[in-house]
Amino acid sequence: MKVLIKAGLALTKDSPLRDIYIGINNEKIEVISKDEPEDYDDAELSIGGLDRLVSPGFISIQTFLSLYPFRYRIFSGKLNVNDIVSVMDEKDVYYFSLLAGYHLLKTGITKIITADPKPEHAARALMTIGLKPIIAVSVGCSWSSSDWKREFKALYSRWSTKEENRVIIKLCDEDEAEEVFGISNEYKIPVLVDRSINLSRFKEIPRNIIALGGGSRKDLEIIRKENLGLSFTPSYEICKFTLGSYMPSISLDSTPRYDIRTEMGIAASRLLLTSEEAYKAATIWGYKQVGITEGIERGSLTDLIIFEVNEPPSFPLDKESPFESIIYSSYNLETAIVGGEAILDGGVPLNIGIKDIEEANKRIEEIDEKYRNMEKD
| pLDDT at residue 238 in the model | 77
Taking alpha carbons only, the member of 26, 77, 76, 19 closest to residue 48 is 19
> Residues with Cβ < 8 Å from 372, sequence gap 6 or more?
none
pLDDT band at 35 (very low <50, low <70, confident <90, very high): very high
Give the E-state strand segments of the chain in sequence order.
2-11, 16-25, 28-33, 45-56, 58-63, 109-114, 132-139, 167-171, 191-193, 209-212, 229-232, 249-250, 304-308, 332-338, 341-345, 348-349
Give the residues across from 336 on adjacent strands: 305, 344
Q: With 0-12 CB in 10 A as exposed, 13-18 as middle and 19+ as buried, what is 350? A: middle
Task: Give residue 45's pLDDT.
Answer: 94
DSSP string spanning 358-369? Answer: HHHHHHHHHHHH
Report the distance separating Cα 264 and Cα 139, nearest Å: 29
Q: What pLDDT, in 10s, does the model give residues 181-225?
A: 999 999 999 999 999 999 999 999 999 999 999 888 999 999 999
Least confident window among 71-75, 160-164, 257-261: 160-164
Question: What is the structure's pLDDT at 162?
Answer: 84
Per-residue pLDDT tens digits for 104-125: 999 999 999 999 999 999 999 9
The 10s digit of each residue's pLDDT in 301-339 is 999 999 999 888 888 899 999 999 999 988 899 999 999
Residue 250: band (very low, low, confident or very high) from pLDDT cuts 50, 70, 90? very high
Per residue in 45-103, pLDDT tens? 999 999 999 999 999 999 999 999 999 999 999 999 999 999 999 999 999 999 999 99
Domains of the chain as residue ranges with CATH: 2-56+302-346 (2.30.40.10), 58-289 (3.20.20.140)
Strands 229-232 and 249-250, bridge-based pairing: parallel
Closest by Cα among 47, 42, 57 to 1: 42
Tell me the average pLDDT across 280-290.
98
100 CA to centre of own chain = 11
| Gap between the Cα atoms of 157 and 135, Å rounded | 12
Say whether pLDDT at 278 is over 90.
yes
| Residue 163, pLDDT score | 85
Please give the pLDDT value at position 237: 86
